[in-house]
Amino acid sequence: MLDRYVFGSAGRISPEAPVPVVRVDRVEERPGGAANVAANISSLGVQVTLVGITGDDGQAGFLESALADVCYRCYRLPGASTITKLRVLSQNQQLLRLDYEEEFPANAADRMLEIYAEQLRGATLVVLSDYAKGSLARVETLIGLAREHGLPVIIDPKGADFTRYRNASVLTPNYREFESVAGESLSEDEVCAKARSLCDELSLDAVLITRGDRGMTLVEGAGGEIVNLPAEAHEVFDVTGAGDTVIAMFASALASGYGYREAIGFANAAAGIAVEKLGAATVSAAELNARSGRPAAQKRLQPEELLGALERSRRRGEKIVMTNGCFDLLHAGHVECLEQARALGDRLVVAVNDDASVRRLKGAGRPLQDLDKRLKVLAGLEAVDWLVVFPEDTPERLVQLVNPDLLVKGGDYAPEQVAGAGHVRQQGGDVITLPLVDGCSTSGIVDAIRKTGRGPA
Active-site residues: which are they? 244
Q: Which residue blocks in 256-391 are alpha helix, DSSP H?
A: 260-274, 285-291, 303-315, 332-343, 355-362, 371-379
Angle at 258 between CA 405 and CA 353, to 5 degrees: 50
CA distance 37 to 127: 9
Residue 272, CB half-sphere, CA atoms under 13 Å: how many? Answer: 21
59 sits in which H/E element: helix 58-66
Residue 165 neighbours by CB under 8 Å, 6+ apart: 139, 143, 155, 157, 171, 202, 204
What radius of gyration do the chain's Cα atoms show? 27
Question: Hey, CA dihedral for 390, 394, 395, 397, is it positive or negative?
Answer: negative
Q: DSSP for 215-252?
A: -EEEEESTT--EEEEPPP-------TTHHHHHHHHHHH
Q: Would you say 7 and 89 are in contact if contact means Cβ atoms under 8 Å apart?
A: yes
CA distance 430 to 407: 6
What residues are paired with 88 via a beta bridge?
6, 96
- DSSP at 151: -
HEC assignment per residue over 168-222: CCEECCEHHHHHHHHCCCCCHHHHHHHHHHHHHHHCCCEEEEECHHHCEEEEECC
Question: Hey, CA dihedral for 360, 365, 368, 369, is it positive or negative?
Answer: positive
Count CB atoms within 10 A of the CB of residue 152: 18
- 73 burial level (CB within 10 Å; 0-12, 13-18, 19+): middle
End-to-end distance of the chain based on CA atoms, in angstroms?
67
Q: At what angle do helices 139-148 and 108-119 cross, to 10 degrees?
A: 10
